[in-house]
Each structure stands twice: as structure tokens, then as C-alpha cells.
């Protein structure tokens, strides 16, 4: 078994990171909520390839779950996560208890205005503040580092990048491509909630996104035409309940009047008790 240290205390992680930098090592940081799959491990491998040492953090962050969401049910598998991360090149794991991260009531909230209310923020009004607040804490604990996030959560990546810049964290935020199953379903810890029938139906998300991207590639410039197409493909799947289909400017996350430049097509849908999100990039010719 690959053995790496697992620390639970913020002070221990901070001391370790400081020692690494003093020894001249570049620190890579991969924040996760655990139940690791190959998507998470792609971030760890990338960090290991580009940095001297890598911290994997595993923390199911209560701040980012809304009332009625799946905080209690969220899958947990710390021992397997640590082993898999070690095999992918992690040097240390940080798995704090909730009381360590939030010893008392949390009075400080990090809100990235403009990016947090749109898209999934319409359905999960407190979610991105919870993400930004906990990631700000991780950045403060670890200090200067390169932090790896997946494009799977494209809005989260944009928010974290903006937050790090606005608050001058000495952290370079690196976005990494979506890792998918062979049938196109984006890997997600929440895929574990899917019944076999729902799992078989879920690749409709990528098919719908690809149809939207093909329409843009073929010259469609109307956002509504693209989102109607994506939405109608998802809605044609009886096991899927569409929450939203959107096409936005990749930098601002706003829907332009006319599609142009670097775009992102995003979809959110429920399959039974799993709420899944996915997205693809597409750019129009200059
Ligand atoms: P989570 O544990 O869901 O909070 O995800 C932790 C990190 O892994 C985030 O930066 C996610 O965007 C990233 N991630 C999750 N699933 C994937 C995937 N299928 N491909 C790439 N990155 C992913």
C-alpha cells in the first residue's frame, strides 16, 4: 500500500507547506470532497507532473450544501481515496473534521458577485458562496501554491479563479479538462446515486451538449436556438428532468445576444436522486 501522511489539523498542513517552500519546492493543491474517481485523479496526476509536491484535500464542505441537498448521503471513502491519490502522485492528504475547518459559527462569507448568481446559482443560491469561502480558507492555510480544478464544474472554476485574483491569494488556479466514462458521461461522485437504468440514460447530457456545439459550429448564432436544441434532447429522455440548458461567454458566464468568441454550453438535469451537470466548450471563428 502506498503510504502518505494524512493530516487533520490546519496548522500541520500549513507547517508542511511552508517547509516545502523553504526547501524550494513548488506546492500543488487539489481540493476535493473525496469519493475519488479518475476525474479527481487526473487533477492529482497533472499536479504531480507540474509541481514538486501535491496536497490532496478531502473535505465534504457543509457550507456548499443547501437545505434538502445530499450532505448526509454524500459518498465517503477516505482510506481508498488516500491510497488512490498516493498512487497518482499525491504527497500528503488533508482530511479535516468539520470542527477543525469551522470551529464556531462562520461569520465570514466569500461572495463572488456576478459569477455566483447565474447558471447553477439560480438553483443553488448559497452553493458558490460556500465553495468560495472554503476554497479561500484552503488557499490561506496552504499559502503559495498552484491549485488544480476541473472544468467539469466550469462555473466553480471561474469563481475560484476570480476569487483568488480579487483577494490576491498567491495561488495560480489551473483548469483541467473533463474526464468522462467511455459512453461520454462525465465522471462524478454523484453518479453513484444512479440506478442502472438512469446510468444508461445519463450520457444524453453529452449528446445534447455536442448537438448544441455542432449547431454553433454550423453557424447558429442564436443562444435560444442552441439552448432549445440542447434542452429538447435532454427532455426527450424519460428518466431525465431538465433543470437548465445555457450557452454563455466562457469568461463572463453571461449569455451574449449573439454567439461569438469563446463559449461554454452547460446543462443541468436530475436523474432520480442524482443531479448531474456537464458542459462543453466551443468557439466561433474569429
Ligand atoms: P468534487 O470532489 O466534486 O468537489 O470535485 C473536486 C475537483 O475535481 C473539482 O475541481 C472538480 O471540478 C474536479 N472534478 C470532478 N469531476 C471531474 C471530472 N469528471 N473531470 C475532471 N475534473 C473533475
pLDDT of amino acid 3: 87
Task: Report the pLDDT averaged over residues 73-88.
Answer: 97
- Beta-strand relationship, 92-94 and 53-58: parallel
CB–CB of 90/41 below 8 Å? no
Q: How far is CA 224 from CA 117, 186, 245, in A?
A: 20, 24, 10
pLDDT tens-digit readout, 193-215: 999 999 999 999 999 999 999 99
CA of 144 to the centre of ligand 1 (A): 22
The percentage of residues in the chain with a pLDDT greater than 70, rounded to a whole number, is 99
Q: How far apart are CA 94 and CA 286, in angstroms?
A: 44
pLDDT of amino acid 1: 47
Q: What is the mean pLDDT of the chain?
A: 97
| Cβ of 43 less than 6 Å from ligand 1 | yes
Task: Report the pLDDT averaged over residues 213-240.
Answer: 98
Burial grade of 49 (CB within 10 A; 0-12, 13-18, 19 or more): exposed
Task: Report the pLDDT averaged over residues 166-179.
Answer: 98
pLDDT for 116 beyond 80: yes
| Cβ of 179 less than 6 Å from ligand 1 | yes
| Cβ of 45 less than 6 Å from ligand 1 | no
pLDDT tens-digit readout, 237-265: 999 999 999 999 999 999 999 999 999 99
pLDDT for 55 beyond 90: yes
pLDDT tens-digit readout, 125-144: 999 999 999 999 999 999 99
Indicate the pTM of the whole model. 0.97
pLDDT tens-digit readout, 33-53: 999 999 999 999 999 999 999
CA of 9 to the centre of ligand 1 (A): 23
- Structural domains of the chain ordered from first start: 6-176 (3.40.50.620), 189-279 (3.30.1300.10)
111 is catalytic: no
Amino acid at each position: 500500500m502506498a503510504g502518505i501522511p494524512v493530516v487533520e489539523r490546519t496548522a500541520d498542513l500549513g507547517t508542511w507547506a511552508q517547509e516545502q517552500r523553504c526547501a524550494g519546492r513548488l506546492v500543488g493543491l487539489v481540493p476535493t470532497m473525496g469519493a475519488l474517481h479518475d476525474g479527481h485523479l487526473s487533477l492529482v496526476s497533472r499536479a504531480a507532473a507540474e509541481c514538486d509536491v501535491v496536497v490532496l484535500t478531502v473535505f465534504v464542505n457543509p457550507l456548499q450544501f443547501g437545505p434538502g441537498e445530499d450532505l448526509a448521503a454524500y459518498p465517503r471513502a477516505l482510506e481508498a481515496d488516500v491510497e488512490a491519490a498516493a498512487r497518482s502522485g499525491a504527497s500528503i492528504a488533508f482530511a479535516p473534521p468539520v470542527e477543525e475547518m469551522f470551529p464556531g459559527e462562520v461569520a465570514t462569507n466569500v461572495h463572488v458577485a456576478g459569477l455566483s448568481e447565474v447558471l447553477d446559482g439560480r438553483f443553488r443560491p448559497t452553493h458558490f458562496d460556500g465553495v468560495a469561502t472554503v476554497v479561500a480558507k484552503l488557499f490561506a492555510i496552504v499559502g503559495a501554491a498552484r491549485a488544480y480544478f476541473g472544468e467539469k464544474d466550469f462555473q466553480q472554476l471561474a469563481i475560484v479563479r476570480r476569487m483568488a485574483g480579487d483577494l490576491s491569494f498567491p495561488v495560480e488556479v489551473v483548469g483541467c479538462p473533463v474526464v468522462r466514462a467511455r459512453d461520454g458521461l462525465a465522471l462524478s461522485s454523484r453518479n453513484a446515486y444512479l440506478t442502472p437504468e438512469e446510468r444508461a440514460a445519463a450520457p444524453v447530457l453529452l449528446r445534447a451538449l455536442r448537438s448544441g456545439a455542432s449547431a454553433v459550429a454550423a453557424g447558429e448564432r442564436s443562444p435560444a436556438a442552441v439552448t432549445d436544441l440542447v434542452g429538447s434532447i435532454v427532455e426527450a429522455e424519460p428518466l431525465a428532468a431538465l433543470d437548465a440548458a445555457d450557452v454563455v461567454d466562457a469568461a463572463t458566464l453571461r449569455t451574449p445576444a449573439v454567439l461569438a468568441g469563446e463559449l461554454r454550453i452547460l446543462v443541468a438535469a436530475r436523474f432520480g436522486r442524482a443531479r448531474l451537470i456537464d458542459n462543453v466548450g466551443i468557439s466561433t471563428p474569429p
